[in-house]
């Protein structure tokens, strides 16, 4: 069975949690495509050469989940040759036997426009920044909430306004705003869409 679920949306909207839960529930493979850009950003040197040479082991490097790695990722992600170098890996993953969930920014629009299910997961910038800040330790976080909010807004701005594959919902994506939803309710809503597509 070839079956592709595309889950897009801005940072900290809940894509990762939802994608992992959907993959587990339906027995699908999962690729967090943000890790590809994070790995390229973390490699230093020429980002185009890094993207062309990327191998799966690079996705296991330490420190890729940090806020700084996210900022570096969003800078290299604006380079069209970097994006082009990462297309084949993502498309191959999407078409693997047994089905796959890919989460990112442009999965439903560019990488897999024919995906069987497309979800666009979003939440207000304030809610997303608060989640990130709590993940970083809340009052014990190394940065105040306002600084985290500024970084979230800066990354949104760059991701939504780049010329190549900007962050936006596909015309046929189901919108899922998690601002007011519990994790369980968000996962339930996403699984319902996938179950419907699977028949």
Q: Binding ligand C5P by CB under 6 A: which of 33, 109, 122, 178?
A: 33
Q: How far apart are CA 24 and CA 88, in angstroms?
A: 24
Q: Binding ligand C5P by CB under 6 A: which of 4, 21, 28, 38?
A: 38
Instruction: Compute the radius of gyration of the chain from its Cα atoms.
Output: 16
Which DSSP category does 14 fall into?
S
Give burial (CB, 10 Å; 0-12/13-18/19+) of 143.
middle
Sheet strand arrangement including 174-177? 29-32, 100-104, 4-8, 117-122, 174-177
Q: By CB under 6 A, is residue 186 in contact with ligand C5P?
A: no
Which DSSP category does 141 fall into?
S
The stretch near ligand C5P (CB under 6 A) out of 105-113, 134-142, 173-181, 186-194 is 105-113
The stretch near ligand C5P (CB under 6 A) out of 30-38, 92-100, 133-141, 143-151 is 30-38
- Of 75-104, which residues contact ligand C5P (CB under 6 A)? 77, 104
Q: By CB under 6 A, is residue 193 in contact with ligand C5P?
A: no
- Of 141-170, which residues contact ligand C5P (CB under 6 A)? 155, 159
- 152: tokens are 């979230």
Per CB under 6 A, residues contacting ligand C5P are: 11, 33-34, 37-38, 70, 73-74, 77, 104-107, 155, 159
């Amino acid at each position: 069975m070839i079956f592709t679920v595309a889950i897009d949306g801005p940072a900290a909207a809940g894509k990762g949690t939802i994608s992992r839960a959907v993959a587990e529930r339906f027995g699908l493979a999962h690729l967090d495509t943000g890790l590809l850009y994070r790995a390229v950003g973390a490699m230093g040197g020429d980002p185009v050469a890094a993207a062309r040479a990327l191998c799966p082991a690079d996705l296991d490097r330490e420190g890729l989940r940090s806020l700084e790695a996210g900022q570096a990722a969003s800078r290299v992600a604006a380079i069209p040759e970097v994006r082009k170098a990462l297309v084949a890996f993502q498309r191959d993953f999407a078409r693997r036997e047994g089905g796959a969930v890919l989460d990112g920014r442009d999965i439903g629009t560019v990488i897999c426009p024919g995906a069987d299910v497309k979800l666009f997961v979003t939440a207000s910038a304030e809610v997303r920044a608060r989640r990130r800040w709590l993940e970083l330790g809340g009052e014990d976080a190394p940065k105040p909430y306002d600084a985290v909010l500024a970084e979230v807004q800066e990354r949104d701005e760059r991701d939504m306004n780049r010329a190549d594959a900007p962050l936006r919902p596909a015309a046929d994506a189901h919108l899922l705003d998690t601002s007011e939803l519990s994790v369980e309710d968000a996962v339930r809503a996403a699984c319902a869409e996938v179950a419907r597509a699977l028949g």
